[in-house]
Amino acid sequence: MDRIYIFDTTLRDGEQSPGASMTIQQKYELALQLAKLKADVIETGFPISSPHQFEACKYISQHVNGIAIAALARSVIKDIDAAYMSIKDAEHPRIHTFIATSPIHMKYKLQKEPDEVIEMAVDAVKYARNKTGEVEFSPEDGTRSDLDFLCRIVEKVIDAGANIINIPDTVGYAIPEEFGAFINKIMNRVPNIDKSIVSVHCHNDLGLAVANSIAAVQNGARQVEVTLNGIGERAGNAALEEFVMTLNVRKDTLPFETNIDTTQIYNSSRLLSNIIGFPIPRNKPIIGDNAFSHESGIHQDGVIKRRETYEIMTPESVGRDSSQLVLGRHSGIHGFSKRLSELGLTLNEEEIKKSYEKFLELADRKKEVFDDDLYVLVNDQIRRQTATYVLEYFNIQSGNLSVPTATIKLRSADTVYEEAAVGDGPVDAIFNAVDRVTGTRTKLIEYNVQAVTPGRKALGEVSIIIQVNGKRFVGRGASTDILEASAKAYINAINRYKALVPKNGKE
Ligand code: KIV
Ligand code: ZN
C-alpha cells in the first residue's frame, strides 16, 4: 500500500469560507482535534494577512504536538518572515509558499512576465529553506497554467530546495481524467520530481474536488490537501472525510492508505460545524444525518437481513454511534468531562465545573441529553466567558395589535448597559436594542432556527449571519426560548466581530 499524506487546511483555506472566521481559542481546539484525527500536516493560517492570523498560527505551533504545522506565504520576503516567525516553535514547521503561474493570473493579477515569476518563486523557496527544513511550493491556478511552463518552474523550485510540490486546481476547473493525466505528465516530465512529494489541492466549484484528488493519487500524488466538511473558498475544498473514506472503502481498487483515525471523523466534523456555526446538510456523505439512515421499506428489510446489502461502510467506522443518548441527571462530573473530551471539547477545570452546572439544569428540564446538546451547552458556556457583551436580561412586548418593543440589559466587563427599541417584529426589536448598546451597524444576511435534538422540550438553536463593513460573521445562541436564543445569537455574532476585527479595523 502506498501512503498518502493528509494535509488539512481547514484552519486556512477552510477559514476563508465567508462567515467561517474563528477565534484563536477555536482554532486551537480544532487543531487539537485534527491531531487526534491524525492528519499529517495542518495549515494554520496566512500569518502576514493580519495580527490575528499570526497569533493563531503561533499559539497552535507552541501548544499542539505530534503533527506538522504549516503557514502560508506569498513568494515575498515579508510573508515568509511572518510565516516563519509564527511557526518556528512547532515540532515540525513547514513554510508553504505560492505564486500564480497561469497566463491570466500572471498578466492581470501579478502583472509579471513568466521569467520574473520563476525568479520570485526560486528566491522565495531558497529563502524559506534557509529557515525551515520543509518547504512546500504551490503554483497557484496550476491547472490553468501552461504545462511546459509549469514543469519548468517546478524543476527550478525543487532545485532551490522545495520538498513538496503542490498542484492546486485553484478555481475548481479540472475534471478527473484530465487532472490525472496532468499530474502524470508532471511526474514524467520534471527530471528531479523524485526529490519531492507531489501534492494536490482541489477546489469544488464543479463538485469534483474529491474525484480529482483520487485521480491525482492514481497518477503519483502522495499528499492531498483537504478540509473537514469540505469548507473553503467559494464552493470549498476536497472534503477530508469523503477522500479518506473513498480510499478506505475502495481498497480493492485504490491501494493507498492514510494515517487518519477514521473513528475520529464524525466528532471532528461536528466540532467544526459547532465552532463555525455552519450546519451539516442532512444528505452530506459520511457525516450528514441521513448518510446511514434507510427510508424505503425494501432497504430497511435488506439492512435488517444483512447490513452490507445497502451499507458500504459502517457508521462505527467513522465514529458514529447509533446510540447517541449519553448522559442524564444522575451522571457524575467525571462521566460528563470524559464525554466532552471524547467529543473534542477541550475545557479547563473551571470551565468543566461551570458547564456541568448548566448540564444539570438542562438534564432537569429535559430528561434525555444528547451529544448535540452538549456541543451547544459548552459553546454557550465558553462564549459567555470570552464575550465582549453578555446578555443579562431581556423583555419583549409583542402582539398582533401592538408595536413590538424590546428592553435589554447587556454587560461588558463591569459595566451594565440598558436600552429599549422597537422593531418590525420581536426579533428585530431585540436586534435594534442590541445595536443601540454596541453601536454597531449590521446587515442581517441569514437567520435560522432549529431544534437541536428531537422532542418538544428540545433546545432551540438560532444561527445567524450578519455583515459588518463588508465582512460576514456567524453567531449562534441556544435556549428553550427562541427569542432568548435569537438575542444570544445576535450578541454572539457581534462579539465575534469585536474579537476578530481589532479596533484599528485591520483584520
Ligand atoms: O487554491 C489555491 O490555489 C490555494 C493555494 C494558496 C494553495 O489555496
Ligand atoms: Zn485553495
Cell 498542484 belongs to residue: 167
2-276 with 387-500: one CATH topology?
no
Q: What is the pLDDT of residue 506?
A: 42
* H or E segment to which residue 275 belongs: helix 265-276
Cβ-contact 443, 469 below 8 angstroms: no
3-state DSSP: the chain helix, strand, coil percent, rounded to 5?
45, 20, 35
**One-letter identity of residue 313:** M
Q: How far apart are CA 320 and CA 292, in angstroms?
A: 9
DSSP state of 203: B
Q: How far apart are CA 281 and CA 504, in angstroms?
A: 37
Of 9, 13, 226, which is best to mutate to test ligand 1, by the most ligand atoms within 8 angstroms of its C-beta?
Answer: 13
Q: How far apart are CA 431 and CA 117, in angstroms?
A: 50
Report whether residue 168 contacts ligand 1, using a CB cutoff of 6 Å. Answer: yes
Centre of ligand 2 to C-alpha 201, Å, is 7
In 78-94, which positions are buried (b, 16+ CB within 10 angstroms) versus exposed (e)? ebbbbbbbbbeebebbb
CATH architecture classification, 2-276: Alpha-Beta Barrel (3.20)
Q: Which three cell numbers stand for residue 104?
A: 491570466
Centre of ligand 2 to C-alpha 296, Å, is 39
Q: Nearest 5 degrees, angle CA 377-CA 260-CA 310?
A: 85
Ligand nearest to the Cα of 230, by number: 2
Q: How far apart are CA 230 and CA 214, in angstroms?
A: 15
Cβ-contact 461, 353 below 8 angstroms: no
- Ligand 1 atom showing the smallest separation from residue 168 Cα: 3
Cβ-contact 139, 201 below 8 angstroms: no
Alpha-carbon distances of 164 from 72, 186, 295, rounded to whole Å: 13, 13, 45
Q: How far apart are CA 463 and CA 477, in angstroms?
A: 7
Q: What is the pLDDT of residue 254?
A: 98
- The pTM (predicted TM-score) of the whole model is 0.84
Q: What is the pLDDT of residue 501?
A: 67
Q: How far apart are CA 387 and CA 492, in angstroms?
A: 7
Q: Whose alpha carbon is nearest atom 5 of ligand 1?
A: 140
Alpha-carbon distances of 431 from 211, 419, 496, rounded to whole Å: 44, 11, 15
Of 3.30.160.270, 3.30.450.20, 1.10.3720.10, 3.65.10.10, which CATH number belongs to 387-500?
Answer: 3.30.160.270
Cβ-contact 257, 229 below 8 angstroms: no
Report whether residue 98 contacts ligand 1, using a CB cutoff of 6 Å. Answer: yes
- Ligand 1 atom showing the smallest separation from residue 171 Cα: 1
pLDDT by residue, tens only, the chain of 507 residues: 899 999 999 999 999 998 888 889 889 999 999 999 999 999 999 999 999 999 999 999 999 999 999 999 999 999 999 999 999 999 999 999 999 999 999 999 999 999 999 999 999 999 999 999 999 999 999 999 999 999 999 999 999 999 999 999 999 999 999 999 999 999 999 999 999 999 999 999 999 999 999 999 999 999 999 999 999 999 999 999 999 999 999 999 999 999 999 999 999 999 999 888 888 998 999 999 889 887 777 887 888 888 888 889 999 999 997 545 568 888 889 888 888 888 888 888 888 998 999 899 888 877 778 887 888 788 777 655 667 899 999 999 998 889 999 999 999 888 999 999 999 999 999 999 999 999 988 999 989 888 877 777 778 889 888 999 888 888 888 888 899 999 999 998 998 888 776 554 444
Q: Which three cell numbers stand for residue 123?
A: 528566491
Q: Which three cell numbers stand for residue 113?
A: 512576465
- Residue 21: CB atoms within 10 A of its CB come to 23
Report whether residue 170 contacts ligand 1, using a CB cutoff of 6 Å. Answer: yes
Q: How far apart are CA 406 and CA 391, in angstroms?
A: 13
- Residue 341: CB atoms within 10 A of its CB come to 13
- Ligand 1 atom showing the smallest separation from residue 138 Cα: 7
Q: Rg (Cα) of the chain, in Å, rounded?
A: 24
Ligand nearest to the Cα of 227, by number: 2
Q: What is the 3-state secondary structure (H, E, C) of 208-269?
A: CHHHHHHHHHCCCCCEEEEEHHHCCCCCCECEHHHHHHHHHHCCCCCCEECCCCHHHHHHHH
3 state SS of 481: coil
3 state SS of 149: helix
Q: How far apart are CA 364 and CA 372, in angstroms?
A: 17
Q: Whose alpha carbon is nearest atom 8 of ligand 1?
A: 13
Q: How far apart are CA 504 and CA 507, in angstroms?
A: 8
Closest to 134 (Cα-Cα) out of 188, 77, 91, 76: 91
Q: How far apart are CA 462 and CA 440, in angstroms?
A: 20
Report whether residue 13 contacts ligand 1, using a CB cutoff of 6 Å. Answer: yes
Cβ-contact 491, 389 below 8 angstroms: yes
Cα 189–chain centre separation: 35
Going by their DSSP bridges, the two strands 405-412 and 415-422 should be labelled as: antiparallel
**One-letter identity of residue 189:** R
**One-letter identity of residue 473:** F
Q: Which three cell numbers stand for residue 119?
A: 525568479
Q: Which three cell numbers stand for residue 272?
A: 467544526
Label residue 72 exposed, middle or buried (CB < 10 Å: 0-12, 13-18, 19+).
buried
Instruction: Categorise residue 94: left if φ over 0, alpha if ψ from -120 to 50, beta otherwise.
Output: beta
Centre of ligand 2 to C-alpha 452, Å, is 32
Q: How far apart are CA 420 and CA 448, in angstroms?
A: 24
Report whether residue 138 contacts ligand 1, using a CB cutoff of 6 Å. Answer: yes
Q: How far apart are CA 198 and CA 187, in angstroms?
A: 8
Report whether residue 74 contacts ligand 1, using a CB cutoff of 6 Å. Answer: no
Ligand nearest to the Cα of 168, by number: 1
Ligand nearest to the Cα of 138, by number: 1
Locate the domains of the chain by residue range: 2-276, 292-323, 326-385, 387-500
Of 46, 179, 199, 203, which is best to mutate to test ligand 1, by the most ligand atoms within 8 angstroms of its C-beta?
Answer: 203
